[in-house]
């Protein structure tokens, strides 16, 4: 009789604990649901419609053979081979809402591996096609430079681009885009002012402006140089740009104390054609460097390139570019 009573008491105790556990579990789930609901309501207050954030990155790894003539009086090798991590980049970009967007991107130096800032900008989109961007980014000059690393026709940009590109700089840019034309105008610190402080700038002021007219096609077709076999159809665009900068008053952290008075102007015109599985691009550029008390130099160059898709994922391409340096430049043999 005692044994039976004890067993019943034990069973009753187990049943009571099970009931308490079930009640605690149900209460815990209810509490968790309340927390999730509260978090979502707070997030909806902080994040407007259209909020997004994308972490991205890309790299190019290659084997190279570089053949070149020896410089006069030099014993350097005329051929170099080896593997190279051309670039490795990481970034984050997105939209805060339908009007505000941002992008921050950096790259690892292929010689030493140090990480440095490339782009850091914010942007606000107004109505009627207008927008403004501020921070550090590429000045709107050469189209080849403005097309992303991942959307080039060849494995790398041309020597033509290296000779005339203004690269990244810091400033404010106003943009307008319509159905057939678009414009970008930037007030900046001058060419190639990447990660420079105000005391390290080579120009007092820089102005860069680019205009593009699209006769056929969609603007998205010109975000790269390749035209896939499934492309939307024939498209063509012409563009032109100019960059001017002057220096001489900006304080410099060097022995001279100030920059030399130097005016620089770079100008370009280009045209693009795209069809179903083929593309063509040509560009001309010129520059004038006018240092105070020095020798003026006028350089010119042109580029032509094209490609054709021989299969859905295989493209044959060719590129030819020429640089014509000023023969009056000191040390020039031409």
Q: What percent of the chain has pLDDT over 90?
A: 64
The pLDDT value recorded for residue 6 is 38
Backbone φ and ψ of 71, nearest 5°: -70, 150
Alpha helices in the chain (DSSP H): 2-46, 143-146, 159-164
Give the Cα-Cα-Cα angle 119, 120, 121 (nearest 5 degrees).
115
250-290 pLDDT, tens digit per residue, is: 655 554 555 568 999 999 999 999 999 999 999 999 999 99
135-178 pLDDT, tens digit per residue, is: 999 999 999 999 999 999 998 999 999 999 999 999 999 999 99
Please report the beta strands in the chain, taking only residues with DSSP state E, as ranges in sequence order.
52-67, 79-95, 100-108, 115-125, 130-138, 168-177, 181-188, 205-216, 235-247, 262-275, 278-291, 297-311, 314-324
For residue 303, is pLDDT > 70?
yes
For residue 11, the SS3 value is: helix
How many Å apart are CA 263 and CA 206, to the nearest integer? 10
Cα–Cα distances (Å) from 268 to 4, 41, 152, 192, in that order, read 100, 52, 19, 17
For residue 308, is pLDDT > 70?
yes
182-229 pLDDT, tens digit per residue, is: 999 999 999 999 998 887 777 899 999 999 999 999 999 999 999 999
77-92 pLDDT, tens digit per residue, is: 678 899 999 889 999 9
For residue 48, is pLDDT > 70?
no
For residue 45, is pLDDT > 50?
no
Model confidence, pTM: 0.80
- Say if residues 214 and 235 touch (Cβ distance below 8 Å): yes
For residue 64, the SS3 value is: strand
For residue 327, is pLDDT > 60?
yes
Q: Classify residue 294 by its DSSP letter.
A: S
For residue 24, is pLDDT > 90?
no
How many of the other CB atoms lie within 10 Å of CB of 64?
Answer: 12
Please report the beta strands in 178-252, taking only residues with DSSP state E, as ranges in sequence order.
181-188, 205-216, 235-247
How many of the other CB atoms lie within 10 Å of CB of 276?
Answer: 13
């Amino acid at each position: 009789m005692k044994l039976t009573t004890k067993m019943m008491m034990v069973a009753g105790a187990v049943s009571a604990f099970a009931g308490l556990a079930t009640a605690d579990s149900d209460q815990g789930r209810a509490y968790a649901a309340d927390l999730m609901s509260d978090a979502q309501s707070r997030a909806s207050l902080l994040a407007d419609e259209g909020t997004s954030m994308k972490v991205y990155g890309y790299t190019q790894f290659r084997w190279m053979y570089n053949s070149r003539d020896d410089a006069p009086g030099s014993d350097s090798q005329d051929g170099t081979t080896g593997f190279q991590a051309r670039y490795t980049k990481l970034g984050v970009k997105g939209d805060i809402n339908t009007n505000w967007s941002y992008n921050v991107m950096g790259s690892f130096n292929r010689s030493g591996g140090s990480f440095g800032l490339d782009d850091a900008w914010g942007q606000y989109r107004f109505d009627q096609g207008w927008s403004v961007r501020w921070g550090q980014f590429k000045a709107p000059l050469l189209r080849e430079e403005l097309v992303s690393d991942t959307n080039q026709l060849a494995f790398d940009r041309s020597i033509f681009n290296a000779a005339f590109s203004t690269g990244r700089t810091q400033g404010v840019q106003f943009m307008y885009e319509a159905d057939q034309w678009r414009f970008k105008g930037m007030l900046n610190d001058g060419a190639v002012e990447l990660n420079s402080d105000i005391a390290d700038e080579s120009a007092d002021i820089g102005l860069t402006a680019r205009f593009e007219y699209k006769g056929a096609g969609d603007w998205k077709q010109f975000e790269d140089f390749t035209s896939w076999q499934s492309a939307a159809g024939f498209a063509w665009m012409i563009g032109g740009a100019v960059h001017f900068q002057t220096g001489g008053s900006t304080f410099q952290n060097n022995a001279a104390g100030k920059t030399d008075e130097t005016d620089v102007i770079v100008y370009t015109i280009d045209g693009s054609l795209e069809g179903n599985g083929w593309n063509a691009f040509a560009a001309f550029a010129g520059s004038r460097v006018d240092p105070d008390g020095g020798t003026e130099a006028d350089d010119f160059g042109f580029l032509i390139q094209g490609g054709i898709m021989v299969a859905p994922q295989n493209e044959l391409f060719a590129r030819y570019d020429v640089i014509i340096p000023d023969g009056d430049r000191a040390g020039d043999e031409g």
